[in-house]
């Protein structure tokens, strides 16, 4: 019996020991875990606790300015008062909007947009209700804040273009971020943030944006802000310096007036574009604030296409401004020299077709100089018969036509220089010989932009250098700007004697008594301008119209009138500037386009901006305060 009691006692002791050991082990684990959490992981859990207490918010950076070559501001920032709603801070978004609508007007369309954004965005992300509020509206909202849970006033920035429509096609505009733009960057989700949609604003959007700042806010259990703990300001976007001279730009726009057209002026040696005007234009400030349906429809349905940048995206038959290319192709092919003559009696029969000269009675005997000076069509028909379209196309492409110039603005068009292979591939038909004659006077399939015509002229008169145009001093590289390499343009090819001959012919266009642009010679005895007029048809002229001479442009509807063109350069003895002017349906190049080119060239020579480096203020200008 006693032995049995001893066995039970020993068994109990062992069980007690095991149980005690287990409890000790569990206690050790608990102590170890507490040590790990409170000592080893102390910093981590302190941070997690702070994150429950601290709200991090992004601060939008100031968008970089855009200025002209003399530091005149073209795109700046101004204060923008806007009202926001944060869904996590209000029990009923609909009710809050209803109350707010009694203070400031909120349309049904805006309400639908707000509710849609509230559903899509995270609850703590504010949604913009209205922007561009007047101070009186802000005051009324602030007074009623206790009855408007989730409503807050934010002072942001709006993009402002001091020059209005003068540089709209160059600068472009900014607009609100759309769904397609969201790429995970939280900055794009901040209320009121805008990105570039066209022009320089779009091409240089990332460098202009800058880098966001942060604000650390202490919040209570309900998410209300108690105080700001820390703030790190964002980094302002880069300033973009254009090569434009805004005074020249203004003069070009004013000179075009109510016409639809474009003016391009550039430095023939380094490619700096000094003027890039397109009319009619639009006010980019309305895009920054948001267009309504009526405003948008008026712009889109306007037959003069105010939204299109005609300088870089307008494609026109170059007319007689193309004749220098044809002449150079003939000279290089060796089929003519400067003394070769053809007889013009006003028309040329070729195959089954009859090709007319603009001068009905003809020009008589015509050599190269006279052919360009008086723009004899028959002379160039004769050249076309001898050299063919492919030789013409090869020279045209060397001088910047029919190809992208890799310009600094989006939306640049290539124009068109046709070849036999092109027609076969695109239209499925063989090239007709008569089409070469039409192309030789810049008609038919041939298309060029005003920018390309300016580049063509620059390469013809700068000694045959393959200069390329540019509008901005620096180039975008991710979020930064890098200095543009100053590389001397290589040779475009061409006998210097041939190029000198063409310059002489262009000089006589404006300065010879029989030149087609003799009325547009510069008003100076010391400096002369050379050039070439062009008139391109937009419709086929009937036989009856030719017989009766009923073809005055002013008697036709606007859309049926010829386009007017002019290209020019100056000074004649040492070319420094090239200009191209296109007036849509302007009639005659000598009457509509050449006088505009004369005035712009005269102003170019008077101001001589090529002698001043971009970004250096060389004259007094009215500076607008930024971020005010």
> pLDDT at residue 602 above 60?
yes
Exactly one of 152, 320, 375, 590 is catalytic; which is it?
Answer: 320
As a CATH number, domain 56-241 is 3.90.1310.10
Q: Which two tokens stand for residue 87?
A: 């869904």
| pLDDT at residue 623 tops 50 | no
Residue at token pair 């603005």: 409
Report the distance separating Cα 195 and Cα 190, nearest Å: 12
Give 82-140 pLDDT, tens digit per residue.
Answer: 899 988 888 889 899 988 988 999 888 888 889 988 888 878 778 889 888 888 888 99
Domain with CATH 3.40.710.10 in the chain: 246-470+490-611
How confident is the prediction for the chain on average, in pLDDT?
88
As a whole number, mean pLDDT of residues 54-75 equals 89
With CA atoms as reference, report the closest residue to 275 among 314, 307, 240, 248: 248
Q: Please tell me whether residue 229 adopts helix, strand or coil conformation.
A: strand
Asked whether 368 and 340 are in contact (CB, 8 A), the reply is yes
pLDDT tier, 289 (very low <50, low <70, confident <90, very high otherwise): confident
| CA–CA dist 530, 505 (Å, integer) | 8
More confident residue, 435 or 552: 435
Pairing of the two strands 347-350 and 353-356:
antiparallel
pTM of the prediction?
Answer: 0.83
**Residue 320 is among the residues annotated as catalytic for this protein:** yes
Confidence of residue 400 (pLDDT cuts 50, 70, 90): very high
The architecture CATH gives domain 246-470+490-611? 3-Layer(aba) Sandwich (3.40)
Element (H, E) at 56: strand 54-59
Domain with CATH 3.90.1310.10 in the chain: 56-241
Q: CA-to-CA distance for 179 and 398, rounded, in angstroms?
A: 43
pLDDT value of position 620? 42
pLDDT exceeds cutoff 70 at 544: no
Residue with tokens 């063989």: 430
pLDDT of residue 489: 83
DSSP states of 346-358: SEEEETTEEEE-S
The pLDDT confidence band at residue 325, using thresholds 50, 70 and 90, is very high
Strand 563-570, strand 474-477: pairing: unpaired
Neighbouring C-beta atoms of residue 506, cutoff 10 Å? 27
Beta bridge partners of 570: 577
At 229-257, the pLDDT tens digits run 778 888 899 999 999 999 999 999 999 99
On the question of pLDDT at 10 being above 80, the answer is no
pLDDT at position 615, please? 57
pLDDT digits (tens, 9 = 90+) for 329-347: 999 999 999 999 999 999 9
């Amino acid at each position: 019996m006693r032995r049995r009691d001893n066995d039970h006692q020993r068994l109990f002791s062992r069980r007690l020991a095991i149980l005690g050991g287990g409890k000790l082990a569990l206690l050790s684990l608990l102590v170890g875990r507490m040590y790990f959490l409170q000592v080893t992981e102390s910093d981590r859990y302190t941070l997690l606790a702070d994150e429950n207490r601290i709200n991090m918010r992004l601060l939008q950076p100031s968008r970089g300015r855009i200025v002209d070559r003399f530091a005149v501001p073209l795109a700046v920032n101004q204060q923008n008062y806007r009202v926001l709603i944060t869904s996590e801070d209000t029990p009923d978004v609909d009710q809050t909007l209803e109350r707010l609508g009694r203070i400031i007007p909120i349309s049904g369309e805006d309400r639908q947009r707000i509710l849609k954004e509230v559903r899509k965005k995270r609850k703590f992300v504010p949604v913009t209700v209205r922007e561009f509020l007047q101070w009186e509206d802000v005051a009324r909202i602030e007074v009623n804040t206790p009855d408007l849970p989730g409503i807050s006033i934010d002072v942001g920035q709006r993009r402002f273009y001091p020059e209005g429509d003068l540089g709209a096609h160059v600068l472009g505009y900014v607009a609100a971020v759309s769904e397609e733009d969201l790429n995970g960057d939280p900055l794009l989700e901040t209320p009121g943030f805008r990105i570039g949609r066209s022009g320089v604003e779009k091409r240089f959007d990332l460098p202009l944006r800058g880098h966001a700042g942060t604000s650390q806010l202490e919040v209570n259990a309900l998410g209300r802000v108690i105080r700001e703990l820390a703030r790190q300001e964002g980094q302002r976007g880069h300033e973009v310096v254009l090569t434009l001279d805004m005074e020249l730009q203004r003069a070009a726009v004013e000179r075009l007036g109510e016409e639809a057209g474009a003016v391009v002026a550039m430095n023939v040696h380094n490619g700096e574009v000094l003027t890039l005007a397109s009319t009619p234009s639009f006010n980019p400030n309305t895009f920054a604030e948001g267009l309504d349906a009526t405003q948008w429809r008026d712009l889109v349905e306007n037959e003069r296409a105010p939204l299109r940048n005609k300088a870089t995206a307008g494609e026109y038959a170059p007319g007689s401004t193309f004749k220098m290319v044809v002449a150079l192709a003939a000279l290089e092919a060796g089929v003519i020299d400067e003394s070769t003559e053809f007889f013009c009696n006003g028309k040329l029969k070729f195959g089954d077709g009859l090709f007319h000269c603009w001068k009905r009675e003809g020009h008589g005997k015509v050599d190269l100089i006279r052919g360009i000076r008086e723009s004899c069509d028959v002379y160039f028909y004769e050249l076309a018969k001898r050299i063919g379209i492919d030789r013409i196309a090869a020279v045209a492409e060397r001088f910047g036509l029919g190809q992208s110039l890799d310009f600094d603005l989006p939306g640049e068009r290539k124009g068109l220089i046709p070849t036999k292979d092109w027609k076969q591939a695109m239209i499925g038909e063989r090239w007709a010989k008569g089409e070469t004659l039409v192309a030789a006077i810049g008609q038919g399939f041939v298309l060029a932009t005003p920018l390309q015509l300016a580049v063509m002229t620059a390469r013809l008169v700068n000694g045959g250098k393959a200069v390329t145009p540019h509008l901005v001093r620096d180039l975008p590289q991710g979020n930064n700007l890098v200095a543009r390499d100053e590389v001397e343009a290589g040779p475009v090819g061409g006998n210097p004697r041939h190029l000198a001959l063409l310059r002489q012919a262009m000089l006589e266009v404006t300065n010879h008594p029989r030149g087609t642009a003799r009325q547009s010679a510069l008003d100076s005895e010391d400096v002369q301008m050379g050039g070439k007029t062009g008139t391109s048809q937009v419709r086929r002229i009937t036989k009856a119209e030719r017989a009766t001479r009923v073809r005055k442009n002013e008697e036709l509807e606007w859309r049926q009138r010829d386009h007017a063109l002019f290209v020019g350069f100056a000074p004649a003895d040492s070319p420094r500037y090239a200009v191209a002017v296109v007036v849509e349906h302007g009639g005659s190049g000598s009457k509509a386009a050449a006088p505009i080119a004369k005035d712009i060239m005269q102003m170019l020579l008077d101001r001589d901006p090529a002698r001043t480096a971009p970004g250096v203020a060389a004259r007094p200008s009215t500076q607008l305060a930024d971020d005010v």
